Structure 1
Amino acid sequence: MSYRKIFIFMSIMLSVMAILNQLLLQGDTLVLILILAFSALGWYDVLQQKNAVLREYPIFGHLRYILLDIAPILHDYFVESNTGGRPFSKNTIKLVYARAENKPGYHPLGTERDFYKEGLEWIGHSMFSKGEFEDQPRVLVGGPECTRPYSASILNISAMSFGALSKTAIQSLNKGAALGGFSHNTGEGGLTPYHMEGGDVVLQVGTANFGFRYPDGRLDEEAFRKKSKLDSIKMIEIKLSQGAKPGHGGVLPAAKNTPEIAKIRMVEPHTDVLSPPFNPSFPTEEKLVEFIGILRDLSGGKPIGIKLCIGQPSEFESLLDRFIEKEIYPDFITVDAAEGGTGAAPLDYSNHIGMRGDDALKFVNGALIKKGIRDRIKIIYAGKVVSGFNMFKAFCYGADLCNSARGFMLSLGCIQSLKCHTDRCPTGVATQNHELAKGIVPNFKSHQVRNFHDNTIADFIDIAETAGVTSFDQFNPELVHVVEPTT
């Protein structure tokens, strides 16, 4: 006899017995309600035709989905090692928490990493002190065409939109940027009141032109001009692609698309908002180059840059040729990594599309040098930067400054629960649920944001001095070593 038939027989018997017990013996009403409720659930499972597991294993089949839902939590707390977590290991997360809380990031006994494992990276230290690195160094962004260059910190908040993040998270990030003197990228969701807490802002123009768009998605130049000329806006970033989902466009699930967000983005609320893979305002290389010039004029001469994940190298080199041909250059290029973060993306795109960060950064730096335009364009690296070592390596491979998204999310209290796309972020960081978002208090969390920034740069400077590096022109790829495969 199948489990399904056994359930049907037992359910009928239990229901009859419970009803008779209630009528004849005046039994516990709560017991009767529970029996009838489970019986109703079981009958629903048996009669429904969508789910085979529940149809064959009524009631008990639900345990499978409960366990699947809590499996990541159980794995994280009881199975995963300190070094094996993804996207970030427990040790890395603990380090970010320590930096945010102004605590020393010490680790006991010794490394937990396999120093003989292929691909492990290390830095050679200097035998003698070469001097001190510049304290809290800054980089001036803006080429000859730029009339309002920006003195940027070497570590800034990468693009994260209001919508992907809660308003209290955005407020905390911007207040933290104001406290620490670094910049905060709006992400493709556009400028919101929560980005106006005193911090320097990088205004991102996404493929959908959210916040300054016509109904067909093209850029509304007058709306852009008004926002870009605000004093808090220091730079403009044109997003061509994003590391975790290059060529796919952003995704804002309907659950997170509130009326407030829809109004800011100029879209319909409570609908899935899928950004197009390409911006309709510049369908070709030539149009993109012209678009850079247009935005520079509209913004009053502020630095204009592009953000992309490298796909086909020949296309990027062709774009550089168009810059040279038209004599219109971006002031900076933000290099994103295929291993970059996102709130929601198709798994195939996260796993298999785009060039990994180290390779992309080396390629972009080399291509600009080969074309003779490296001195005109700053490179910002935005690929999993959460530590001083990450920054040191990025500068060795050609970066002028760094952006971090998930590092600053962790500084707010993110626990890597992997629920960013569900609107059920338990820490209130990546949700539009007002009750959950209340867990973040901007006046308190902003100090953790600032602490993470300052302590990570201090860690970077410490590593640089250990390696005998005292200025940016001394960074080079040969300072970073990678364990080669054994033969």
Structure 2
Amino acid sequence: MQEILAFLGEIPWWAWILAILVFIAIIDIFFNRKHTILHNFPVVGHIRYMLESIGPELRQYIVANNREELPFNRRERGWIYASAKNENNYEGFGTDQDIYSTHYVFINNAMLPYQLPAGHPNLKNSGLIPCAKVMGAYNLRRRPFRPASIINVSAMSFGSLSAKAIASLNEGCKLAGSYHNTGEGGFSPYHKRGADVIFQIGTGYFGVRDENGDFSMEKLVKMVEEYPQLRAIELKLSQGAKPGKGGVLPASKITKEISAIRHVPMGKDVISPAYHSAFKGLDGMLDFIEEIAGATGLPVGIKSAIGKLGEWEELAEKMKERDHGPDFIAIDGGEGGTGAAPPSFADHVSLPWIYAFTDVYKVFKKHQLTERIVFVASGKLGFPAKAAMAFSLGADCINVAREAMMSVGCIQAQSCHTNTCPSGVATQNKWLQAGININDKAMRANFYFTKFRKELLQITHACGYEHPSQFKMTDADINLSDKNLAQTLQETFGYSKVEVPFQSYQDFVDCPHIGGNLNLEKLRQTEDAIH
């Protein structure tokens, strides 16, 4: 034995490497039955697959320029990261955008900016921008809700995101005064860190389902009574990533905790149907909304991606006829989001946000219903200039998903559906989550929201207004056609936004229905930290 070991010890290192390569080549040539490349090009073929596997990372950090990458380019991600870290998020030496490109938006500033009067709340809290409308006011819900922030966290479930990511976002929302949408995955312990919460009911009824998987009003009412931070209910009809398809949570991401929260079995993919079983048709949906609102006292809204407009016309007609309906409508852009989807869905099914929103808004304006509804916009709008454009079109609130994920560490690895997210944000792997410091990430989310609002408010003042709800469709131009013809949003989309009944900021501070987590002292502390 000693002689054999001595002999092996005399073999040079390069001979070992050669032997390993020969062994790999034999396996590739004689035993590989799956990959033609490996059979035809043994050993070398492995390099090809390795480079392919790290291609997104190579393009992200080496090949792509600052404005080229999708869904969020490097400059956009850089602004979010800098804002979240409370670092300098300015740029020097002018823009590197192609300002003559089609769909490029220009904000029309006023000759004389708006000047804050003495004693104005924004003098102490430049990041204070509550929503100008109250959810549930028209339909006289028992517990109306005015969001304390015009930017909030969109629907992302515990299960899709990790426990630490959800906890970080919820605590960040508490600090910033934003609300946190649970997504369809149920109301988890990590949503209970103090922020206002909108509970989403999806087609799987997770968290409020009975033993047969059907919707349980009893469970919903009990949950609302037990947790006062639940401020509204959102009925999910579809989402931008895969409208009409339903959702899938892979078995690999289902832990015992997720199983208990969602009331689903372990070891099986959890499939959300494409349709609701608790109601049928638009009449059934309107009845269901009223039943939930009556039982819980909370405002009830709907979330949907937009395609055919005939059903939206019918919904508006029924709302006009019945004199009731959803208290808010969240319009999701077809650009996709955190939910994984087949490329055919993510690339082609449902309209991009700007077309979706303008089409639906015109329907409700025609039927004189816009003042009853809080319009929530969602679709890559987590940047102040894009938000200004959205408010010009008629949006009342902005929901952000991927931008919020980036504020707590997401690096756009695009592996949300594989349970291998390297930043720990979209995985249930405990090892990958271990690097998330909840206190630190919560503060980053807080800074992102606060700096977003501060910059949006600066744009608002530059245009001569006190609050973003005052933006008009003539306050923004958009480039059209191959000749780069610029027109106002009003001329482009063929309608004028209905004026929002805004009086003064003092109305927000005094409003008894405003979000319970609007803490002016906390906002002032954030303001001091930013400065």
Is TM more than 0.5 here? yes
Q: Distance in 1 between matches of 2:280 and 2:325?
A: 18
Structure 1 counterpart of 2:39, one-letter code: R
Q: Distance in 1 between matches of 2:214 and 2:64?
A: 46
Asked if 2 retains the 8 angstrom alpha-carbon contact of 1:340 and 1:382, the reply is no
Asked if 2 retains the 8 angstrom alpha-carbon contact of 1:156 and 1:404, the reply is yes
What is residue 10 of structure 1 aligned with on the other side?
none
What is residue 32 of structure 2 aligned with on the other side?
48
C-alpha deviation, 1:52, in angstroms: 1.6
Aligned positions of 1:155-166 closer than 5 A? 155-166=151-162
Q: Does 1:198 align with 2:194?
A: yes
Q: Distance in 2 between matches of 1:282 and 1:185?
A: 23
Q: Does 1:119 align with 2:111?
A: no
What is residue 27 of structure 1 aligned with on the other side?
10
Q: Distance in 2 between matches of 1:167 and 1:412?
A: 12
C-alpha deviation, 1:203, in angstroms: 0.4
Quick one: structure 1 residues 134 and 366, their matched pair in 2 at CA, closer, same or farther if it must change by over 3 Å? farther
Structure 1 unmatched ranges of 5 or more: 1-19
Q: Distance in 2 between matches of 1:125 and 1:315?
A: 38
RMSD of aligned residue pairs (Cα, Å): 2.2
Asked if 2 retains the 8 angstrom alpha-carbon contact of 1:245 and 1:353, the reply is yes
Aligned positions of 1:320-339 closer than 5 A? 320-339=316-335
What is residue 282 of structure 2 aligned with on the other side?
285
What is residue 100 of structure 1 aligned with on the other side?
84
Q: Deviations over 1:6-49 (max 9, x none)?
A: xxxxxxxxxxxxxx998967534977775565444333322232
Structure 1 counterpart of 2:28, one-letter code: D
Structure 2 unmatched ranges of 5 or more: 123-127, 484-531
Q: Distance in 1 between matches of 2:18 and 2:280?
A: 63
Q: Secondary structure at the match of 1:368?
A: helix
Q: Does 1:151 align with 2:146?
A: yes
429, 432, 435: which one aligns with 1:436? 432
What is residue 462 of structure 2 aligned with on the other side?
466
C-alpha deviation, 1:298, in angstroms: 2.5
Q: Deviations over 1:404-437 (max 9, x none)?
A: 1111111101111111111111111111111111
C-alpha deviation, 1:486, in angstroms: 4.2
Q: Secondary structure at the match of 1:235?
A: strand
Q: Does 1:426 align with 2:422?
A: yes
78, 86, 90: which one aligns with 2:74? 90
Q: Secondary structure at the match of 1:419?
A: coil
Q: Distance in 1 between matches of 2:143 and 2:346?
A: 36
Q: Deviations over 1:346-390 (max 9, x none)?
A: 111110010110112122222111112211111111111221112
Aligned positions of 1:28-427 closer than 5 A? 28=11, 37-46=20-29, 47-132=31-116, 135=122, 136-139=128-131, 140-142=134-136, 143-152=138-147, 153-229=149-225, 230-299=227-296, 301-427=297-423
Asked if 2 retains the 8 angstrom alpha-carbon contact of 1:168 and 1:437, the reply is yes
Asked if 2 retains the 8 angstrom alpha-carbon contact of 1:134 and 1:471, the reply is no
Deviates more, 1:378-387 or 1:363-372: 363-372
TM-score where L is the length of structure 1: 0.91
TM-score where L is the length of structure 2: 0.84
Deviates more, 1:354-363 or 1:135-144: 135-144
Q: Distance in 1 between matches of 2:158 and 2:224?
A: 18
Structure 2 counterpart of 1:383, one-letter code: G
Q: Distance in 2 between matches of 1:166 and 1:471?
A: 35
Asked if 2 retains the 8 angstrom alpha-carbon contact of 1:423 and 1:432, the reply is yes
Q: Distance in 2 between matches of 1:270 and 1:134?
A: 52
Q: Deviations over 1:134-174 (max 9, x none)?
A: 73232322133311011201111111111111100000011
C-alpha deviation, 1:225, in angstroms: 1.5
Asked if 1 retains the 8 angstrom alpha-carbon contact of 2:460 and 2:468, the reply is no
Quick one: structure 1 residues 45 and 25, their matched pair in 2 at CA, closer, same or farther if it must change by over 3 Å? closer
Q: Distance in 1 between matches of 2:335 and 2:9?
A: 64
Q: Secondary structure at the match of 1:141?
A: coil
Asked if 2 retains the 8 angstrom alpha-carbon contact of 1:21 and 1:27, the reply is no
Q: Distance in 1 between matches of 2:276 and 2:211?
A: 13
Q: Distance in 2 between matches of 1:204 and 1:189?
A: 8
Q: Distance in 2 between matches of 1:269 and 1:34?
A: 44
Q: Distance in 2 between matches of 1:298 and 1:184?
A: 22
Q: Distance in 1 between matches of 2:267 and 2:449?
A: 35
Q: Distance in 1 between matches of 2:60 and 2:212?
A: 44
Q: Distance in 1 between matches of 2:12 and 2:49?
A: 30
C-alpha deviation, 1:269, in angstroms: 2.3
Q: Distance in 2 between matches of 1:472 and 1:117?
A: 26
C-alpha deviation, 1:183, in angstroms: 0.5
Structure 1 counterpart of 2:37, one-letter code: V
Q: Deviations over 1:92-142 (max 9, x none)?
A: 111111211122311121111112222211112111123349732323221
Q: Does 1:448 align with 2:439?
A: no
Q: Distance in 1 between matches of 2:295 and 2:214?
A: 15
Quick one: structure 1 residues 161 and 22, their matched pair in 2 at CA, closer, same or farther if it must change by over 3 Å? same
Q: Deviations over 1:314-347 (max 9, x none)?
A: 1111122222333331110001101131231111
Give aligned pairs, total: 467
Q: Distance in 1 between matches of 2:20 and 2:222?
A: 59
Q: Distance in 1 between matches of 2:453 and 2:415?
A: 29
